[in-house]
Amino acid sequence: MFRFWAPEHVGAVWAHTDPANAWQAFATYRDGLRWRHTAANGAAVTVDLQRRPMAADEAVLAITAKVVNGSRALLDGVGIANCLQFAMAPDFSCDDMTRIFVRCAGRWRPLAELEPASDYPRFPAVKRGASGGRMIWGGDLSHLFESTAVDHPLIICASRDGSRCVGTASADVDYLFYNRANPHLLCIHSTQAIQDAVPAKATVEFVQHVYFVNDGVEACASLYDRLPPAAG
């Protein structure tokens, strides 16, 4: 069973660490699911999950989050963290990083080959990678960033026999990371850039896709090429 926490954090708008608001009551909306939350300062987030129509042996789940600054001031620290977990998927759970793939210098490589310095490695994106270790829930995790940069927003987990893959990619990706430090999660992330100074009444959008294929890493990347995440 795959578990997907979408989102686990919305920066300045909502946090799973807030007991009063942690419960996410998704409701059926059109052909998918929708969750909404309005913060005390008037900022609001709407998250839509929709499955895109694809062939029988592949699937794409689209996650679109829109944050509206309903306050009267600039809003800093707006971001989305979506968490795709494999700890309860026996055919996919990977605690040695040999089946978690990212693309570096045009080649898909398992994380184990890159020899990460921690069990919580972050790989900055070539085109952005500007977070400097900043997290949407605060704190400085720059010590967890690897020197190797990735040139693709997709991070992929292959099944034990290599016959299936699940990957996730976000528009405007800032960095990718894998969490081996928490064995109850074993999660992958394609993290989008944090937005600061969002004007009053303005809307920012975050888009992420999850890809499922009955094939290998290259097939998962090909599915991304056909349907990449893009903000509207």
pTM of the predicted structure, to 2 decimals: 0.94
| Residue 209: CB atoms within 10 Å | 24
The pLDDT of residue 40 is above 70? yes
Single-letter code of the amino acid located at 88: M
Residue 224 pLDDT more than 70? Answer: yes
Distance CA 125, CA 210 (A): 18
With a cut of 60, say whether residue 19 has pLDDT above it: yes
What average pLDDT score do residues 116-143 get? 75
Least confident of 98-107, 144-153, 215-224: 144-153
Q: What is the CA radius of gyration of the chain?
A: 17
On the question of pLDDT at 219 being above 90, the answer is yes
Residue type, 228: P
* Domain boundary assignment for the chain: 3-226
* Average pLDDT score over residue span 25-36: 94
With respect to CATH, is domain 3-226 assigned 2.70.98? yes
β pairing state of 44-52 and 122-124: unpaired
Q: Using 50, 70 and 90 to split pLDDT, how confident is the model at 36?
A: very high
CB atoms within 10 A of CB 165: 25
